[in-house]
Chains A and B, each alone.
Chain A
């Protein structure tokens, strides 16, 4: 569902807008590298496809039907960069041409539905399909898992944004549970449809599935000395340039690990005082402790004020901490890199 105006406050809407703009900008460059001068028409047609397939009614049970979000599907069919662009364009068109989704909520909507689902879907797909020997089955199973994880993850990010700047006074754990619960179910439906759709494309034109590049059997030459297999270059509409690994896999992987550690594992950390605290207590100079200025802040004590459940409170604080660190660190990194590039050019 598209978030309307007023659901998030101004700072979160603006912040999400910045994230969305940055994400889209990166994907524009990446997509152009891969598709070159075919980018505009190909991505446009795929965007039209996504728009159409989102309207397909998939029956669930008597009377109810579900709809595809399409982020993970797009990432597996045309690659993550193009997928983000296509879904983002669909959202922009829906917002400006069909009044679907708030204009101030475009940042949030693009972040949740274009960036998170596509990138998380692609990351899970890569992990899943690489851990098994390359085959069509691996691609299909990978698609299932990718879509399955992408939807609840998007709901989790929504919950995090809601905690940061949602305008409704609802118990955060209720939001998390409701969103999470519903979206796990939706994720199941999405996973099934995604896997089936990828499978049907694989059956007819496997060369069009980005996630299945390199699956084609190598050509065989019959020479005087017998049969020789030829190393086939990547099949597909275009031979992509030798992909630079780039920081993305590490960023994604590291980000996921950090979130897991901060959000879940941290709860099991020892509650015994750390080195400095223990020494301060033993030596007696902890009497000079003064309360921190931000002691009553929302994240004080590595907990989220207002969230009763300890585990959830700690976990969310951890996730928030990781998020803030990544944003600030990233901003610094990019500023410094930009400066260096400018200096290099000058």
Chain B
């Protein structure tokens, strides 16, 4: 049920953030997200610090705010849900502009909105400054199971090929007057889905044959090595460390 934003977020650049090794950025983004989620919702100041940190990263990486805002559209379904919570929430109720709202509900809505937004922006900045291929190499460096990374690699490589095929099937359907109006048209779409699966699977088999033809014996060869120095790890660690400290301080104050 994802809206399917398959336009790559990566924005090429040569900034200090872009140059950081991907494994450092992955840990930084995850660490930041954890810190944000651990921040108590009453700590306005802490959230303010988090926003500032992200703004600094975005500025250093020269990511235009418009890109980030456009991408935040992904959040919309949960914004709607969060907005509904004060209306249906339990607990003490207060009056706001003549409407009865739940106070814990308002807090909860704020909590979700703030954290979800910070999380999305952090993800956007990560994807915008890290080439997909580098992201995979970084994951491998972080000891994510090699097989999983390889599956992701093939998925990314053939995603656009399969999507193109799906698009061409849609054009072919529409060129023959097909209009998807209601459930009775579902069988036609299912047939396209079935055909797409068969083509994808058969391509997988051909790719495997091509790999065999170039000497593949079951283990992907090591082609690139991606070391990260202490300096680079420390630079990347600044973001999550500051966010974490802020969260801890906020928790102790609450």
Contacts and interface: CB of A to CB of B under 8 A. Distances in A.
Contact of A40 (B6, B150, B159): B150
A346 interface: no
B219 to A, nearest CB: 8
Contact of B4 (A25, A47, A55, A85): A55
Interface stretch (B13-21, B53-61, B83-91, B227-235): B83-91
Interface of A: 1-2, 4-7, 9-10, 13, 24-25, 28, 31-32, 36-49, 51-62, 65-69, 77, 85-86, 88-90, 92-100, 102-104, 167-171, 174, 192-193, 196-201, 203-205, 208, 237
Interface in B195-254: 195-198, 200-201, 203-205, 207-208, 211, 216-218, 220
A13 B118 CA distance: 17
B34 A10 contact: yes
Contacts of A204: 194-195, 198
Contact of A28 (B33, B145, B204): B145
Contact of B153 (A44, A53, A96, A174): A44
B162 interface: yes
A41 B194 contact: no
Given A52-B163, A168-B108, A170-B85, A40 B154 contact: yes
Nearest to A178: B88
B176 interface: no
Given A42-B201, A61-B183, A205-B198, A169 B105 contact: yes
Nearest to B146: A40
B148 A52 contact: no
B193 A197 contact: yes
Nearest to B191: A200
A59 B183 contact: yes
A169 B89 contact: yes
A146 to B, nearest CB: 15
A207 to B, nearest CB: 10
B112 A6 contact: yes
B74 interface: yes
A103 B191 contact: no
Contacts of B105: 168-170
A174 B88 contact: yes
B194 A197 contact: yes
B78 A44 contact: no
Majority secondary structure of chain A interface residues (helix, strand, loop or mixed): helix
B208 A38 contact: yes
- A-B pairs, 7 with minimum CB distance: A44-B154, A6-B115, A200-B194, A5-B119, A196-B190, A45-B204, A4-B116
B203 A54 contact: no
B51 interface: no
21 contacts: A4-B112, A4-B120, A5-B115, A5-B116, A6-B36, A6-B111, A10-B38, A38-B204, A41-B204, A44-B154, A45-B203, A49-B197, A51-B6, A52-B163, A96-B123, A97-B127, A99-B124, A102-B115, A103-B30, A169-B104, A198-B194
B4 A48 contact: no
Contacts of A5: 33, 36-37, 115-116, 118-120
Q: Which of the listed residues A97, A167, A170 has the most CB atoms from chain B within 10 Å of its own CB? A: A97
Given A36-B218, A201-B197, A103 B1 contact: no
A86 B159 CA distance: 13
Given A41-B208, A44-B158, A61-B182, 12 more contacts: A1-B78, A38-B204, A39-B147, A53-B197, A93-B155, A97-B8, A97-B127, A99-B127, A104-B37, A199-B194, A201-B197, A237-B205
Given A40-B150, A40-B154, A95-B123, A100 B74 contact: yes
Contact of B116 (A6, A67, A68): A6
A104 B75 CA distance: 15
Contacts of B193: 53, 56, 68, 193, 196-197, 200
Contact of A104 (B8, B119, B191): B119
